[in-house]
Amino acid sequence: MGKRLTENLSSLYIGAANRLKPKRARRKIVAYVESYDDISFWRTILSEYEDNTRYFEVMLPSQTSLAKGKKTVLMNQLGKQLGENMIACVDSDYDYLLQGRTHTSQYIIESPYVMQTYAYAIENYHCYAEGLHEVCVMATLNDHKLINFVEFMKMYSQIAYPLFIWSVWFYRRHILSEFSLLDFCSYVKLEQVSTHHPERSLENMAKKVNRKLHDLEHRHPDALGEIEDMKKEFEQLGVHPDNTYMFIQGHHIMDNVVLRLLIPVCTVLRREREQQIHDLALHDMQLHNELTSYQRSQVGVEIVIHRNNFYTNSPLYQMIRKDIEKFLKIIR
């Protein structure tokens, strides 16, 4: 039975293979990622640093299994083999916020051979508020600004922020049986969003969040000082009340917040566009042809959102760039 790729390859092995190539050949740096879904994200940012001396090859840690290479796999199987010719690229989850309080968090933060997202996951970047209007335009071919997405996600973040701090506090204390990540997400999800009154969904969420905050403050009065200290610490880490959504579980933000906002918005925008076609059509044949053409040109917003790359100017993305640049300075 063939050995796993990770048993055969190490940074030193790839370095030796590089030296056997002609001197003009570019150096290969292998970048392992957690899943197939991550390849495009890391390929895009790493390709910015390719030149005539080096290139990156992004892949999963195993070529013998379809199992997703979660962070524990990357750390356990690749940890000692990472180096100048082999890096790992992972979602931060809560590890960035744990600031070395677990072995995995410490390894990710301290190793120059591990690149992390800083945001909870890649999904958070796809949900970056600055690009959500463009997502709707690509999905509907209608440029009407129905909702201020940047302001909406800012308000969402401000409501979620105090309970988010508590969520990380429980994670740091390893008391997940009382308030798990799943529990936290259940309080910061949106119910049905009205395009006429989107603020109402935020008001309903705020009521649930405030009730839970009151409960936690009543149960853990001794933690209040520590909670305030964490807010100051998080400020230094780039976590603010306005951008909390970037640090909440990525799948939750995508499925239970952003798409619940975008889907009704796109429905309205499509109806607007179809009504315009109805109003402008000179006869039934033109109406039929234009509507058919428009319907064929549409793409589901669930698909388009994964093409949202307006996050490249975000502060967190710049932090990834700095880590890559730091790594490139230490390799020979």
Report the relative pairing of strands 54-59 and 114-116 from DSSP bridges: unpaired
Burial category of 189 from C-beta neighbours within 10 Å (exposed 0-12, middle 13-18, buried 19 and up): middle
In this predicted model, which residue has the larger pLDDT, 241 or 309?
241
Assess whether 185 and 68 both reside in one domain: no
Q: What's the number of domains the chain is made of?
A: 2
Q: How many CA atoms lie within 13 A of 229 on its CB side?
A: 6
Final residue belonging to a domain, choices 82, 103, 120: 120
Query: What does the pLDDT look like over 98-151, one tens digit per residue?
Result: 999 988 899 999 999 999 999 999 999 999 999 999 999 999 999 999 999 999
| Residue 179, domain extent | 124-311
Angle at 232 between CA 118 and CA 96, to 5 degrees: 20
Residue 282 lies in a domain: yes
Say if residue 129 is in the same domain as residue 14.
Answer: no
Closest residue by Cα to residue 155 from 261, 251, 259: 261
Residue whose entry in the numeric block shows the structure tokens 């796993």: 4
List C-alpha distances in Å: 193 to 128, 152, 208, 256, 316: 19, 12, 16, 11, 28
Q: Are residues 142 and 265 in the same domain?
A: yes
Q: Is residue 107 located within the same domain as residue 13? A: yes
Q: Kindly state whether residue 320 falls inside one of the protein's structural domains.
A: no
Nearest residue to 304 (alpha-carbon basis) of 134, 59, 112 = 134
Give the Cα separation of 161 and 157 in Å (integer): 6
Distance, first Cα to last Cα, the chain: 36
Check whether residue 224 and residue 292 sit in a common domain: yes
For residue 54, give both structure tokens.
Answer: 């080096």
Residue 329 lies in a domain: no
Instruction: Give the residue carrying structure tokens 């042809």.
Output: 289
Q: Tell me, yes or no, whether 202 lies in a domain.
A: yes
* Residue 174 shares a structural domain with residue 107: no
Query: Percent of the chain beyond pLDDT 90?
Result: 70
Last residue of a domain, one of 67, 85, 120: 120
> d(Cα 115, Cα 113) in Å, to the nearest integer?
7
What are the tens digits of pLDDT across the range 237-257?
999 999 999 999 999 999 999
- 150 and 264 both lie in a single domain: yes
Asked whether residue 75 falls in the same domain as residue 196, the answer is no
What pLDDT does residue 22 have?
Answer: 61
Name beta bridge partners: 90.
116
Whole-number percent of the chain with pLDDT over 70: 87
> What is the DSSP pairing of strand 86-90 with strand 27-33?
parallel
Verify that 301 and 261 share a domain, yes or no. Answer: yes
Q: Note whether 136 and 165 are same-domain residues.
A: yes
Q: Same domain, yes or no, for 68 and 134?
A: no
Q: Which residues contact 322 (CB under 8 A, 6 or more apart)?
A: none
- Please name the amino acid found at residue 202: L
Give the end of a domain, one of 82, 100, 120.
120
Instruction: Give domain status of residue 328, yes or no.
Output: no
The per-residue DSSP string of 255-269 comes to IIIIHHHHHHHHHHH
* DSSP notation for 279-301: HH-SSHHHHHHHHHHHHHH---H
Q: Residue 18: inside a domain, yes or no?
A: yes
Is 185's pLDDT higher than 50?
A: yes
Mean residue pLDDT of the chain comes to 89
Q: Is residue 325 part of a domain?
A: no
Rounded to two decimals, what is the model's pTM? Answer: 0.89
CA distance 6 to 63: 9
pLDDT(3) > 60: no
Residue type at 79? Answer: G
Residues 244 and 175 in one domain: yes
Flag whether pLDDT at 71 surpasses 80: no
Residues 6+ apart with CB under 8 A from 172: 98, 101
Question: Is residue 68 included in any domain, yes or no?
Answer: yes
- How many C-alpha atoms does 247 have within 13 Å on its Cβ side? 29
CA distances to 96, 166, 178, 228, 289 from 173, in Å = 15, 10, 11, 16, 62
Distance CA 320, CA 181 (A): 25
